[in-house]
Every structure is written in C-alpha cells, then in structure tokens.
Amino acid sequence: MKGLRRSAFLITIFFFGVWVGNNRQLPDWAVFILPVSVMWWLIKYDEIAYKRRLRKGV
C-alpha cells in the first residue's frame, strides 16, 4: 500500500509541476525538468529516511 501511495504522490507532483510550468509560460525543457527534479529529490529524501529508520531499528 505504501508503494501505491508513493506512486500516486509522485505522479500528482509531476502533473502539478507540468500544469504550473505551462501556466507560467516556461520553456519546454523547464516544464519537464522541474517536476522531474522535485520527484528525484523526494525519492532521495525518502530513501535516506528509510535507511535511518533501518539503522535505528524502528
């Protein structure tokens, strides 16, 4: 279930970023790169948090 929630959240972030990018008249590369970079940082943050939880034994 957690994987499904994470996927839905990432897809929502991506489409929200594309929508905001299109409304601000950004170049095509920025409309794609901005949401992808946000998704990448969120995935990295989640991986780091997961590894910390494993080390703590929670």
User: pLDDT for 5-52, tens place per residue?
Assistant: 777 777 787 787 777 767 777 787 877 787 788 778 877 888 888 888
Q: Of the candidates 36, 28, 46, which has an alpha carbon nearest to the alpha carbon of residue 11?
A: 36
What residues make up the domain containing 21?
Answer: 2-56
| Cα separation, 2 vs 45, whole angstroms | 15
**Number of domains comprising the chain:** 1
- 18 Cβ contact partners less than 8 Å away, ≥ 6 residues apart: 31, 32, 35
The predicted model scores a pTM of 0.58
